[in-house]
Amino acid sequence: MAAQGLDVERGPVRATPKIRLERVSKRFRLPRGRELLVLDGLDLEVEEGALVSIVGPSGCGKSTLLNILAGLEPVSEGRIWVDGKEVGQSEVRVGYVFQQPRLLSWRTLRGNVLLPLEEMRLPRAEREARADRYLALVGLQEFAHYYPLQVSGGMQQRVAIARALAVEPEVLLADEPFSALDELTARRMREEFVRIWQATGRTVLFVTHSIREAVFLSTRVVVVTRRPARVYLDVPVPVPYPRAYEDDRLFALEKEITREFLRMEERDGPHDVRSAWASRE
């Protein structure tokens, strides 16, 4: 169901997007009155139920974008819309999957999934039923009473996914969630992730530095430029799910996007050492 209505026909008549960012800018203040412009009037629309990947050079502000949606960083300019309604940053209900699992090691796996649910005004029984449901969805119901340090890194990351989904978010944010895993585990996790995403029909914004991963997972791939980040390329991936890693269409698309990516890098010139330094201050 999620895969329908996603052929991105860029026509004038379109359904209201789930999430819409309008000219979002983000400046960080640096010492001695300098400023670092990280996002420069970024426009982005994410359809309901889509899995949109954002690919860009490292340090380009991809994570900043997710942090803005999560309300962790205030925006400098711009507006955010959810279901056609303008909202404040901290009003977007998000689930966040980080690069590291970021679980509380003194809580059981179930306790970790329950953590955000305890903040929502839900009856206890409903909370627990929900936690169990999402643990089962990621295949960990038998490990519910284990502690995070007793299970593998891949399992920990699955708990993190269950935790993010359990809040039933308007948008699921994922920040390179598989990059800290070994490649075989990461592959299995990507397949799992697609299955889980399809089972829940959630809208997903997925940040990665891997074009291959983006193409394999997404309904749409958005390439952003080096800082300040702007949308450079926005391509749909018209391949039905479940996808195979060896699919030639994916491979062709990966090559094409990589070529565009390199062209963009060339256009932007050699890496600016000074601005790299500035960001570290």
Catalog residues that contact other proteins under the rule CB under 8 A.
Answer: 70-72, 90, 93-96, 98, 100, 102, 104-107, 115-116, 118-119, 147-150, 163, 167, 173
User: Which residue number, 202 or 220, has a Cβ lying nearer to other proteins?
Assistant: 202
Query: How far is Cα 265 from Cα 258, in angstroms, rounded to an integer?
Result: 10
Q: CA neighbours within 13 Å on the CB side: how many for 241?
A: 22
Closest CA to 53 of 164, 189, 175: 175
Q: Write the CA distances from 39 to 44, 67, 273, integer angstroms.
A: 12, 12, 19
User: Which residue number, 147 or 261, has a Cβ lying nearer to other proteins?
Assistant: 147
Do 193 and 172 form a contact (C-beta atoms < 8 A)? no
Shortest gap between Cβ of 236 and other proteins (angstroms)?
29
Closest CA to 138 of 155, 150, 122: 155
Shortest gap between Cβ of 104 and other proteins (angstroms)?
7
Do 47 and 18 form a contact (C-beta atoms < 8 A)? yes
User: Which residue number, 107 or 195, has a Cβ lying nearer to other proteins?
Assistant: 107
User: Which residue number, 81 or 146, has a Cβ lying nearer to other proteins?
Assistant: 146
Shortest gap between Cβ of 67 and other proteins (angstroms)?
8
User: Which residue number, 99 or 185, has a Cβ lying nearer to other proteins?
Assistant: 99
Shortest gap between Cβ of 80 and other proteins (angstroms)?
15
Shortest gap between Cβ of 127 and other proteins (angstroms)?
14
First to last CA, the chain: 46
Shortest gap between Cβ of 92 and other proteins (angstroms)?
10
Q: Please provide the DSSP assignment of 94-111 as one string.
A: EEEE-SS----TTS-HHH
Shortest gap between Cβ of 118 and other proteins (angstroms)?
7
SS3 state of residue 154 = helix
User: Which residue number, 96 or 178, has a Cβ lying nearer to other proteins?
Assistant: 96
SS3 state of residue 92 = coil
Shortest gap between Cβ of 106 and other proteins (angstroms)?
5
Q: What residue type is 122 in one-letter code? A: L
User: Which residue number, 6 or 82, has a Cβ lying nearer to other proteins?
Assistant: 82
Query: How far is Cα 204 from Cα 50, in angstroms, rounded to an integer?
Result: 6
Q: Which residues, in sequence order, are bridge partners of residue 204?
A: 51, 172
User: Which residue number, 49 or 148, has a Cβ lying nearer to other proteins?
Assistant: 148
Query: How far is Cα 100 from Cα 238, in angstroms, rounded to an integer?
Result: 30
How, if at all, do strands 220-224 and 85-87 pair? unpaired
Q: What residue type is 46 in one-letter code? A: V
